[in-house]
C-alpha cells in the first residue's frame, strides 16, 4: 500500500483578505511529507471547483493506500463542528451565499473510516472563524457531529474554535513548528509530536493554542522506527558537558521550557544515531541530575570564595 497526501495552500482571495504565508507553508509541508514517504499532490490558490474536484479525486484514490493526509493553509470557517475550507473565489464572509462557496471536509473525513486498517490525518493551518447562525438554517446542521463519529482519524487545528492562526516570518507558526518537529521527532507517535507542536506554538504566541481530535485505532508514525543500539553513559556524558549545562542554567528557563530544551537535545542525538529511543526518560533524568550537581558545585565555589 502506501501513503498519499493532498497539500493545499491559498494566498490570493477575491473577497477575503489575502495571505502571505500559505503557499510557503504548503511547499514546506510537501517537502516534509515527501521525506516521510508520502506521495504528494500540491494545489495552490485553488478555486471552489478545482478544490472540490481535488478532494473528490483524493477520496477516490485512498482505496489504494493505507494512510491519507490532507493539509490546508488558508482561510477556514467552522459551522457547528463542520470544518470548511475557503477557496480563492469564495464570496465574502457576510454574504448570504457563503455556505455555497465553501468546501466541506466532512465527506472526506467520513471516507477515512471505510476501513479499520486505514489512517486518515487532517492538518488545518487556518483560522476557525464561526459562521453566523443564519447560515446553519440553510441545512448545514443536518449531520453536525458526523466527523466525530469517524474512526481511524486524527485532526489537528492550528488554533481553537473561533481562534486566529498567526504567522512568523514567511510561515504560519503552526506549520513552521509542525514541520520542524516532524523532521526532528518523526519516529514518535503523532499524538506526542503534536503535544510538542502545541508547546512550541504557545511559546511563540501564547494566545494561539493548537487543538487536536483523535479516533485512531493504532499508533501512527511519520517516520519508520529504526532499531538503534543502546548507547549509555558515553553520549549522555558528552551531552552533559559543563559548558553546555552552564549555558542552560544561565537561561533560567521555567520547568516546561527546560524539559522542552532537553527533549530537543535528545531528539538531535536520536536522529544522529547516538542513543536508543527508550533512553528518553533516563536521558532527561540524567541531565536534570547533572544540572543539580553543577548548580550545587558552583554554589559551593562561590561560598568558598567569600
Residues 268-292, mean pLDDT to the nearest whole number: 74
* pTM to 2 decimal places: 0.73
pLDDT of 297 reads: 72
Note the pLDDT of residue 301.
58
Instruction: Report, in angstroms and rounded to the nearest whole number, the Rg of the chain calculated over CA atoms.
Output: 22
Cα dihedral: 270, 275, 281, 287 (round 10): -90
Cell of 215: 479516533
**Residue 204: how many CB atoms within 10 A of its CB?**
13
- Render pLDDT for 70-128 as a digit per residue (tens, 0 to 9): 999 999 988 877 889 999 999 988 888 888 899 998 888 888 876 778 999 999 999 88
Instruction: Report d(CA 90, CA 136) in Å as an integer.
Output: 17
Q: What is the DSSP letter of 4?
A: E
E strand or H helix at 123, and its extent? strand 119-125
Which DSSP helix (H) or strand (E) runs through 85?
A: strand 82-85
Between CA 34 and CA 36 the distance in angstroms is 5
Mean pLDDT of the chain: 83
Are the beta carbons of 208 and 173 closer than 8 angstroms?
A: yes
Flag whether pLDDT at 300 surpasses 70.
no
Return the higher-pLDDT residue of 38 and 258: 38
Amino acid at each position: 500500500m502506501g501513503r498519499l497526501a493532498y497539500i493545499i495552500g491559498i494566498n490570493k482571495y477575491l473577497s477575503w483578505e489575502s495571505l502571505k504565508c500559505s503557499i510557503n507553508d504548503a511547499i514546506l509541508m510537501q517537502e516534509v511529507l515527501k521525506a516521510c514517504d508520502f506521495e504528494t499532490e500540491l494545489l495552490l490558490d485553488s478555486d471552489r471547483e478545482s478544490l472540490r474536484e481535488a478532494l473528490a479525486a483524493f477520496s477516490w484514490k485512498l482505496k489504494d493506500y493505507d494512510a491519507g493526509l490532507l493539509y490546508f493553509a488558508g482561510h477556514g470557517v467552522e459551522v457547528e463542528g463542520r470544518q470548511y475550507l475557503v477557496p480563492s473565489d469564495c464570496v465574502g464572509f457576510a454574504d448570504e451565499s457563503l455556505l455555497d462557496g465553501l468546501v466541506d471536509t466532512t465527506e472526506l473525513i467520513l471516507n477515512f473510516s471505510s476501513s479499520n486498517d486505514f489512517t486518515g490525518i487532517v492538518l488545518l493551518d487556518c483560522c476557525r472563524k464561526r459562521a453566523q447562525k443564519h447560515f446553519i438554517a440553510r441545512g448545514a446542521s443536518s449531520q453536525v457531529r458526523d466527523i466525530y463519529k469517524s474512526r481511524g482519524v486524527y485532526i489537528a487545528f492550528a488554533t481553537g474554535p473561533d481562534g486566529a492562526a498567526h504567522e512568523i516570518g514567511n510561515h504560519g507558526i503552526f506549520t513552521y513548528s509542525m514541520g520542524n518537529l516532524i523532521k526532528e521527532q518523526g519516529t514518535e507517535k503523532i499524538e506526542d509530536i503534536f503535544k510538542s507542536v502545541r508547546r512550541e506554538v504557545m511559546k511563540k504566541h501564547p494566545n494561539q493554542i493548537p487543538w487536536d481530535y483523535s479516533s485512531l485505532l493504532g499508533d501512527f508514525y511519520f517516520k519508520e522506527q529504526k532499531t538503534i543500539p543502546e548507547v549509555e553513559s558515553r553520549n549522555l556524558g558528552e551531552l552533559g558537558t559543563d559548558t553546555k549545562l552552564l549555558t542552560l542554567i544561565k537561561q533560567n528557563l521555567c520547568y516546561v521550557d527546560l524539559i522542552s530544551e532537553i527533549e530537543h537535545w535528545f531528539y538531535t542525538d536520536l536522529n544522529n544515531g547516538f542513543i536508543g529511543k527508550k533512553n528518553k526518560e533516563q536521558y532527561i533524568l540524567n541531565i536534570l541530575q547533572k544540572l543539580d550537581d553543577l548548580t550545587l558545585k558552583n554554589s559551593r565555589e562561590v561560598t568558598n570564595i567569600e
